[in-house]
């Protein structure tokens, strides 16, 4: 069965083949020269059938691990007990896995035991049909034992065999189903979808790191990340992995500022409006209003009329965001920057009232590009007004012609040394200190440190009362 040119098909002389594919062909031919069956497998076949370039190429083979390692100068025992050997060729690591079937999964992640088998049985133990395809680049032939090509044509995610069993084996597959549907813009087949909600609670058994990685890809690679977030909510997964975000659903907002609806709707709209998002922007969008559910109340507005209010939701949200990101094991730099964006997103309402020095400090901040885009998306997904955004863009142009901003005299480590604990308060105090520096309110670093020490001591006294 020929294809519309998956990896290595009809590409002419081997030197013209891209380096990744050339290395994979070398490994495959080496295995075949020793009498083993070997094919390209999984995601690389799927992506090339969809017309997408392969990010990596995995190889499935009849060769056992002990038969693979002697054939190549450099190998890595990635998962030898599960039949997976890493082969390094010209600096590229390829996974070479023995055809296998798997036994019971006690931990909801890895099989207790594997048995080496043939390609057909190997396909049947995989997660989704579109990931269970093999390709023979020598014969230019796809091997499809589970209907994966048909599912690619109709654009659907379907579990191999019994979906309940597949999700019971590896609980992370529930998140992966939503991730693949989001990134490929596919539907999820009814039987596969219906098997998720009753097992959603099992996702709590999966490590924070694995959940984090799937979540990042859902938020940054989905065609419509907001729609993917809705899928997580409807499947019951969001309430387990991010109960703070799940709590946004049904939390109404004042219609004069948020005609779009509740907090969850607002966040989903913002996610869908993102263009090539960074990890930090996607997380800032997801978390910027996380403080609204716990701060929601009815109280008087500026006109004295009662309305829905979320007083200090930005500051409350910063504390919550920090805890969430730490729980998911994000790097400290990501935690710090996203927490800063969450805790300061409301200040963009007042930029036209800011002193020039404070505006200069805001625009010079390393998180400013993320903060500005967060503000733009926040406006577009609510009232639609971009006056403050346009004002800041004009300020940027004006400030570019001015003298470059000086380096800050004090940094976060200075505040920690003075006794200020880790948290959003560091960012706030640094902003105030830099503004004092720019305005000449402090003559030098020592005087600014003295001022910071006074602020920290005052904060400690306030917390004791």
Contact yes or no for 435/358 (Cβ under 8 A): yes
Mean pLDDT value across residues 305-309: 87
Mean pLDDT value across residues 172-200: 97
pLDDT surpassing 80 at residue 342: yes
Quick check: helix, strand or coil at residue 267? helix
Mean pLDDT value across residues 97-118: 76
Mean pLDDT value across residues 340-349: 95
Under DSSP, the state recorded for 159 is B
Share of the chain above pLDDT 70, in %: 92
Mean pLDDT value across residues 221-233: 98
pLDDT at position 114 is 75
pLDDT at position 365 is 87
Query: Element (H or E) spanning 322, and its range?
Result: helix 313-327
Show the domains of the chain with their CATH numbers.
1-154 (3.30.460.10), 155-241 (1.10.110.30)
Q: When comparing pLDDT for 417 and 262, which is higher?
A: 262
Residues in the chain: 465
d(CA 170, CA 312): 41
Contact yes or no for 64/77 (Cβ under 8 A): no
d(CA 176, CA 181): 8
pLDDT at position 11 is 33
Mean pLDDT value across residues 298-306: 83
CB-side neighbour CA atoms (13 Å) of 281? 23
pLDDT at position 107 is 59
Q: Looking only at Cα atoms, what is the longest distance across the chain?
A: 83
- Out of 12-26, 63-77, 391-405, give the one with best mean pLDDT: 63-77
d(CA 324, CA 318): 10
Token output for 275: 């263009």
**Average model confidence (pLDDT) for the chain?**
89
d(CA 286, CA 264): 9
Closest CA to 371 of 334, 330, 338: 338
β partners of residue 93: 88
Is 263 buried (19+), middle (13-18) or exposed (0-12) by CB count in 10 A? buried
φ/ψ of residue 96, rounded to 5: -115, 115
Mean pLDDT value across residues 349-353: 92
Mean pLDDT value across residues 87-105: 88
With left for phi above 0 and alpha for psi between -120 and 50, is residue 80 left, alpha or beta? alpha
Mean pLDDT value across residues 62-86: 91
Under DSSP, the state recorded for 237 is -
List helix spans (H) across 222-305: 225-235, 238-241, 243-246, 263-273, 279-287, 292-295
Confidence band for 8, pLDDT divided at 50, 70 and 90: very low
Mean pLDDT value across residues 133-149: 95
Give the pLDDT confidence of 402-458 residue by residue, as tens digits.
656 678 898 888 888 888 888 777 877 888 888 888 777 888 899 889 998 988 887
> For residue 65, what are the CA distances in angstroms to 71, 78, 98, 101, 370?
11, 11, 7, 15, 47
With a CB cutoff of 8 Å and minimum separation 6, the contacts of 252 are: 261, 262, 308
pLDDT surpassing 80 at residue 12: no
pLDDT at position 439 is 75
Q: When comparing pLDDT for 1 and 185, which is higher?
A: 185
- Beta carbons within 10 angstroms of residue 141's beta carbon: 16
- Out of 2-6, 153-157, 381-385, 396-400, give the one with best mean pLDDT: 153-157
pLDDT at position 437 is 85
pLDDT at position 18 is 84
With a CB cutoff of 8 Å and minimum separation 6, the contacts of 275 are: none
Query: Element (H or E) spanning 208, and its range?
Result: helix 208-221
With a CB cutoff of 8 Å and minimum separation 6, the contacts of 400 are: none
d(CA 94, CA 88): 6
* Strands 92-98, 58-61: pairing kind: parallel
pLDDT at position 108 is 58
pLDDT surpassing 80 at residue 206: yes
d(CA 155, CA 150): 8
pLDDT surpassing 70 at residue 1: no
With a CB cutoff of 8 Å and minimum separation 6, the contacts of 111 are: 82, 102, 103, 104, 105, 169
Closest CA to 189 of 161, 229, 222: 161
- Which of 48-57, 110-119, 345-354 has the least mean pLDDT? 110-119
Contact yes or no for 434/408 (Cβ under 8 A): yes
Give the pLDDT confidence of 15-61 residue by residue, as tens digits.
345 889 999 999 999 999 999 999 999 999 999 999 998 889 999 99
Mean pLDDT value across residues 123-141: 95
- Which of 7-21, 111-125, 147-161, 279-293 has the least mean pLDDT? 7-21
pLDDT surpassing 90 at residue 325: yes
- Out of 225-229, 300-304, 410-414, give the one with best mean pLDDT: 225-229
As a three-state string, the secondary structure of 49-86 is HCCCCCCCCEEEECCCHHHHHHHCCCEEEEEHHHCEEE
pLDDT at position 444 is 87
């Amino acid at each position: 069965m020929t294809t519309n040119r998956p990896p290595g098909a009809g590409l002419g002389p081997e030197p013209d083949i891209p380096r990744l594919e050339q290395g994979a062909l070398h490994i495959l031919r080496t295995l075949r020269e020793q009498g083993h069956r070997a094919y390209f497998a999984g995601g690389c076949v799927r992506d090339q059938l969809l017309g997408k370039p392969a990010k990596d190429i995995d190889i499935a083979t009849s060769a056992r691990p002990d038969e693979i390692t002697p054939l190549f100068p450099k190998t890595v025992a990635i998962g030898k007990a599960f039949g997976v050997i890493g082969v390094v060729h010209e600096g590229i690591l390829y996974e070479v896995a023995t055809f296998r079937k798997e036994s019971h999964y006690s931990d909801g992640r890895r099989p207790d035991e594997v048995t080496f088998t043939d390609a057909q049985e190997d396909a049947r133990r995989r997660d989704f049909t579109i990931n269970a395809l093999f390709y023979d680049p020598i014969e230019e032939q796809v091997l499809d034992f589970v209907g994966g090509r048909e599912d690619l044509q109709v654009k659907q995610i379907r579990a191999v065999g019994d979906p309940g069993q597949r999700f019971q084996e590896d609980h992370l597959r529930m998140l992966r189903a939503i991730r693949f549907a989001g990134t490929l813009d596919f539907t999820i087949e009814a039987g596969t979808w219906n098997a998720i909600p009753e097992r959603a609670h099992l996702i709590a058994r999966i490590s924070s790191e694995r959940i984090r990685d799937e979540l990042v890809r859902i938020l940054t690679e989905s065609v419509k990340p907001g729609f993917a977030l809705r899928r997580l909510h409807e499947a019951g997964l969001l309430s387990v992995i991010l109960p703070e975000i799940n709590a946004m659903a049904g939390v109404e907002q004042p219609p004069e500022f948020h005609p779009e609806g509740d907090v969850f709707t607002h966040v989903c709209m913002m996610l869908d409006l993102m263009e090539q998002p960074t990890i930090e922007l996607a997380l800032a969008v997801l978390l910027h209003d996380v403080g609204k559910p716990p701060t929601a109340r009815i109280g008087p507005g500026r006109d004295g009329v009662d309305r829905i209010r979320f007083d200090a939701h930005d500051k409350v949200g910063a504390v919550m965001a920090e805890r969430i990101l730490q729980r998911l094991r994000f790097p400290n730099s990501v935690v710090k920057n996203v927490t800063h964006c969450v805790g300061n997103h409301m200040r963009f309402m007042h930029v036209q009232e800011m002193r020039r020095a404070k505006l200069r400090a805001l625009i010079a901040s390393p998180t400013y590009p993320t903060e500005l885009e967060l503000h733009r998306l926040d406006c577009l997904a609510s009232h639609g007004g971009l006056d403050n955004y346009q004002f800041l863009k004009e300020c940027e142009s004006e400030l570019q012609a001015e003298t470059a901003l000086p380096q800050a005299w004090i940094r976060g480590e200075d505040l920690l040394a003075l006794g200020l604990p880790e948290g959003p308060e560091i960012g706030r105090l640094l902003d105030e200190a830099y503004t004092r520096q720019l305005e000449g309110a402090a003559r030098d670093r020592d005087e600014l440190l003295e001022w910071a020490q006074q602020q920290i001591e005052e904060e400690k006294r306030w917390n004791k009362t």
